[in-house]
Amino acid sequence: MRITVIGCGYLGATHAAAMADLGHDVLGMEIDRGKRAALSRGEAPFYEPRLDALLASSVESGRLRFTDSYAEVAAFGEIHFVCVGTPQQPESLAADVSQVVAAFTGLAPHLDRPTMVVGKSTVPVGTAARMSSLMAELAPAGADALLAWNPEFLREGFAVDDTLHPDRIVIGVDDSRTEKQLRDFYFPMTDAGTPIIVTDYATAELVKVAANAFLATKISFINAMAEVCEATGADVVDLADSLGYDARIGRRFLNAGIGFGGGCLPKDIRAFVHRAGELGVEDAMTFLRHVDDVNQRQRERVVHVATAMVGGDLSGARVGVWGAAFKPDSDDVRDSPALWVSGQLQLKGASVQVYDPRATVSASHTFPTLSYADSAVEACRDADLVLHLTEWPEFRRIGPAELDGVVARPQLFDGRNVLDLDTWRAAGWTARALGRRSTD
Ligand code: UDX
């Protein structure tokens, strides 16, 4: 089919390349000239495993190209996927849906023949109904311009695989024609066994924010347990392993540490709380405020522990930091706990050297005043304390011997609970983590 993808960030660029790879003819709409130029060369403007290869082969085959013209998009596509961002508003918990509104306002006046628009952006519940009214008002095709909402659950670092092999497909529709067309479009995936749920607009919108709220709650639950473990001498990793064997609970998303970040979980739960308030059901969502608070407290606890480990005063202390991205296999530093902690330590007087295998450039744009090292070992040069804050596999491969003679004081804090603290302690290091049994 001839499809278009409006907004080519993490979601849109991956969707566009994946759909081209499946054999569709794809036109991507991206208003940022620099991003459009990179995408047209077959390069992702961010780091995402496998995406560059998929973009390059799709562009080369002629099945994927990019534009900045809504008229061209409308003329080309049979289905238009709206994938623009919905960041948090600067002075509010609410999501900023201005890019969604702009996409529909830009596209709809050009829709002069039967067509379908599919919203994939994560939006406050009620947005699809609003966009449906907007299309009815602006689209010359009238009732032949159909709308569906089809949330996307991709994770950064696994975006290509999650797009090509989703856990489930959820579509919100308000008539049977839309349902049939989207069922046909996704037939290769559903035929291969991917479950599909067809529902109304509001449920489809809610599935996405509810899923992220659940995941965030699971992480904050185990982080809250980590605090209890510290107060009792218990160990949060043993606790999570033991809980995880209960199939009703499951082990995934029970990794205690410095908490969740990124462009989705934090802003989605805040937007959900805000929307619940508008809908008069704020009491039902109060727990999400606590989830957010527990998450923020994790970051503050790391600063507290780091301060204690350097003797109670950060001024003049040298700290080496492993990791800046909000998670491994990504160069995304949006709301990154690692970068937040690094910034706080510096503000409190420490000299901080950060190393990340992929995110140094994006981190230096966000936080230009921090120092960035070229390697994990160099970040630790003369350090009084080493902090492990993003669990890239290369950090797990470093042993105490490699830092022999590099650090000023052999002290390690593991913010992700994946390093073998016993090995470091056996080599004479002071090694700590949140919620772990401490032998120091
Ligand atoms: C998330 C959702 O998983 C995805 O379905 C949605 O489409 C977008 O938001 P993503 O932001 O890529 O995906 O990251 P995710 O893997 O969910 O991790 C989010 C944060 O939680 C990261 O900072 C990660 O380090 C942290 N995390 C995750 C934990 O602290 N502990 C865990 O056990 C799992």
With beta carbons less than 8 A apart as the criterion, state whether 117 and 87 touch.
no
The number of the ligand 1 atom at minimal distance from the alpha carbon of 156 is 12
Residue 208 Cβ inside 6 Å of ligand 1? The answer reads no
What's the pLDDT score for residue 437? 82
Any atom of ligand 1 within 6 Å of the Cβ of 212: yes
C-beta 254 within 6 A of ligand 1: yes
Residue 30, exposed/middle/buried by CB under 10 A (0-12, 13-18, 19+)? buried
pTM: 0.97
Q: Is 255 in the pocket of ligand 1 (CB under 6 A)?
A: yes
Enumerate long-range contacts of 177-184, CB under 8 Å, 24 or more apart: 177/146, 178/116, 178/146, 178/147, 178/148, 179/148, 181/79, 181/116, 181/146, 182/116, 182/118, 182/148, 182/150
Give the residues of the chain that fall short of pLDDT 50: none
Cβ(149) to ligand 1 under 6 A? no
> Is the distance from the beta carbon of residue 66 to the nearest atom of ligand 1 less than 6 Å?
no
CA of 176 to the centre of ligand 1 (A): 34
List pLDDT tens digits, range 308-326: 999 999 999 999 999 999 9
Q: Do the domains spanning 2-199 and 202-440 agree at the CATH topology level?
A: yes
Write the CATH number of the domain with boundaries 2-199.
3.40.50.720
In angstroms, what is the C-alpha Rg of the chain?
Answer: 24
What's phi and psi for 322, nearest 5 deg?
-100, 110
Question: Domain 202-440 belongs to what topology?
Answer: Rossmann fold (3.40.50)
Establish whether residue 253 lines the binding site of ligand 1, counting it when its CB lies within 6 angstroms of any ligand atom. Answer: yes
CB 341 within 8 A of CB 387: yes
Separation of alpha carbons 310 and 72, rounded Å: 60
- Encoding tokens for residue 109? 């006046």
326 Cα nearest atom in ligand 1 = 23
Please list the active-site residues.
264
d(CA 405, CA 403): 6
Distance 260 CA to ligand 1 centre (A): 6
Sequence-separated (6 or more) residues with CB below 8 Å from residue 359: 47, 323, 324, 325, 330, 331, 332, 333, 336, 390
How many angstroms separate the alpha carbon of residue 259 from the centre of ligand 1?
A: 10
Mutate which of 14, 327, 332 to test ligand 1's pocket (most atoms within 8 Å of Cβ)? 327
Question: How many A from CA of 209 to the centre of ligand 1?
Answer: 13
- Residue extents of the structural domains in the chain: 2-199, 202-440
pLDDT for 439 = 55
Distance 184 CA to ligand 1 centre (A): 31
